Amino acid sequence: MGSKDRRKSSASGVRGLTGIAGAQLPPEKLAEILLQAAMTALAAGDKAAFELVSDALVQRPDVDGWRALVARDLAVRLPSAVQQAWSRGWEPADVVRYVGRKLGPGRAVLAGEAVSEQLAGYAAITVDPRWQAQVAEFEVERWWPSGQTLAQARIERDGWVTFAPELLELVALLLVLPGLERIGPPPGEYRPPASESRSDEGSNAGAGAPNAAPGPGQRSARPVDERVLSRIRALLAKAEATTSEAEAEAFTAGAQERMARHSIDMAMVQAGSEGGGRGPRGERPATRRIWIDPPYEQSKTVLLNAVASANRTRSVWTKNIGFCTVIGFDADLDAVEALFTSLLVQATSAMTRAGRIEQAGGRARSKTFRQSFLAAYAFRIGERLAEITEEQTQAARSEIGDDRLLPVLASRQQDVEDRFAELFPTVTRGRSIRVGDHMGWASGRGAADQATFGTATAVRQ
């Protein structure tokens, strides 16, 4: 059955329910059937059918306490739907961003509040700090009273007719989320490494063994030097702020040099602390999701993959949802996130400047031009970042010695590959990007080639 046929069938079924069920079914049963119909319609992408269900739920006369019944049902279903998202591999940032893309910024705010409410029910020590940081990123503040659920407080504040359809739409979407790869422990299952244990852990004895070695998907203590990361971010900030492409690329090169050397230093520190092997408590590859915003998603993923490869990590694009998963060690993932974010700003600025020049010369800026520009920029930047990483590796080999350095790097790379294969055993290589505008390609490659990366030493701090 095609998508049009499914939508037609869904709408027909909903019309039948809304037309006769109200007179034949008790309120509890009718509410259950209509809520299920809403999820079915949303899963089928049938907006018309969903609106029919929403109207039946919201506009139905408040007989026999109908609105209170539906409100209670939705108030229970919302945290349950969020919990189900966790069980399917979703994390707080994933939920909020996906809801924002599908339902708009207003629903994204509601999703952030729902996530915050649900996580508040767990002991803080059993929630991965990454999850807590993701919630903090969206600046969610609990404004509703402690004695009320979010759904109840929202209905009182915003009104039944306004808020009930929003709540119904969010619950329905969360309940039909597809499964994702599990990249970390859900709330209640996180166990901090020994170095993160706190003096007040006695009050959370029931939460689990805090000093246990990290299990699959959990992180060990992060051997990341925040001072180095601060310097890297400072260089990238300068690269974004300058209007000179030569200076921008020099600052970026300096940041990549620091990243590459920091990665090597952290690898050797970790190997030394384990007596030369990873060991049962050693650092394991971590996993992060980086969302790719439209437009030009394919070219942006090329850029991210180039940055990931240059920093000894692996990435894969989940195109149908809109994010890339990057696998590597924490220090390398920090570098990838910071550098990708900065390069995206720089590439966009360079693309805009190039477009103005081409337009002034009589050639209109087109979507194809911009797509080709970003793709070329990404490919060339990737080549240059890889060159810098190789230079730093060669320098470290001379200082440390091949017999010490190479086995450590090889072991860590194998760990990354093993984790990648574990998460994505059936991943396939996507289509190569199509270059539709050779002028855009040449301009993008030229922008990436504008400066000599060797000048980076002049901007070191």
Domain boundary residue among 132, 152, 175?
A: 175
Mean pLDDT for the stretch of residues 328-336: 93
Whether residue 91 sits in one domain with residue 151: yes
Confidence of residue 214 (pLDDT cuts 50, 70, 90): very low
12 in a domain, yes or no? yes
Whether residue 83 sits in one domain with residue 148: yes
224: CB partners within 8 A, 6+ apart: 266, 330, 331, 334
106 in a domain, yes or no? yes
395 in a domain, yes or no? yes
**For the ranges 121-125, 142-146, 429-433, which has the lowest average pLDDT?**
429-433
In whole numbers, what is the pLDDT of the chain averaged over residues?
Answer: 81
Cα(390)–Cα(135) distance, rounded to whole angstroms?
37
59 in a domain, yes or no? yes
Burial class (CB in 10 A: 0-12, 13-18, 19+), 122: middle
Residue 338's domain spans which residues? Answer: 226-459
**Percentage, residues of the chain above pLDDT 90:** 46
Cα(190)–Cα(313) distance, rounded to whole angstroms?
24
Whether residue 265 sits in one domain with residue 374: yes
Cα(379)–Cα(445) distance, rounded to whole angstroms?
8
Whether residue 246 sits in one domain with residue 149: no
**216-242 per-position pLDDT tens digit:** 444 444 455 788 888 898 999 999 898
- pLDDT value at position 437? 43
Label each residue of 43-82 as H, E or C: HCCCHHHHHHHHHHHHHCCCCCCHHHHHHHHHHHHHHHHH
pTM comes to 0.79
184 in a domain, yes or no? no
CB 74 within 8 Å of CB 167: yes
192 in a domain, yes or no? no
Angle CA(305)–CA(309)–CA(315) in degrees, nearest 5?
Answer: 45
- pLDDT value at position 461? 39
Which is more confidently placed, 163 or 283? 163
Mean pLDDT for the stretch of residues 325-351: 91
Mean pLDDT for the stretch of residues 56-65: 84
The upper half-sphere exposure of residue 170, i.e. CA atoms within 13 Å in the direction of its Cβ, equals 31
Strand partners, 420: none
Whether residue 429 sits in one domain with residue 326: yes
Strand 286-291's sheet: what is its strand order? 286-291, 323-328, 314-318
Mean pLDDT for the stretch of residues 197-214: 41
Cα(287)–Cα(328) distance, rounded to whole angstroms?
7
User: Is it the case that residue 119 has pLDDT exceeding 60?
Assistant: yes
**401-454 per-position pLDDT tens digit:** 999 999 999 999 999 999 999 999 987 665 555 544 444 444 555 555 553 333
- pLDDT value at position 352? 81
For tokens 């620091």, the residue is 258
257 membership: H or E segment, kind and range? helix 245-273
Question: What are the distances in angstroms from CA 137 to CA 92, 110, 388?
Answer: 10, 15, 32
Q: Nearest 5°: phi and psi at 49?
A: -65, -40
- pLDDT value at position 38? 86
183 in a domain, yes or no? no
Whether residue 316 sits in one domain with residue 253: yes
- pLDDT value at position 213? 40
Question: What are the distances in angstroms from CA 165 to CA 74, 81, 111, 159, 376?
Answer: 11, 16, 14, 11, 45
Whether residue 306 sits in one domain with residue 171: no
189 in a domain, yes or no? no
**230-288 per-position pLDDT tens digit:** 889 899 999 989 888 788 878 999 999 999 999 999 899 888 765 444 433 467 899 99
Whether residue 270 sits in one domain with residue 138: no
- pLDDT value at position 247? 86
Instruction: Give which of 90, 434, 102, 385 is closest to 263, Cα–Cα.
Output: 385
Torsion sign (Cα): 354, 359, 360, 361: positive
Q: SS3 for 229?
A: helix
Whether residue 287 sits in one domain with residue 146: no
Instruction: Give which of 162, 146, 164 is closest to 71, Cα–Cα.
Output: 164
Cα(213)–Cα(278) distance, rounded to whole angstroms?
12
Whether residue 233 sits in one domain with residue 166: no
AA identity, residue 442: A
Count of domains in the chain?
2
User: Is it the case that residue 363 has pLDDT exceeding 80?
Assistant: no
| Residues comprising the chain, all counted | 461
Task: For the chain, state the CA radius of gyration.
Answer: 26
Whether residue 231 sits in one domain with residue 165: no
- pLDDT value at position 278? 45
Domain boundary residue among 159, 175, 191?
A: 175
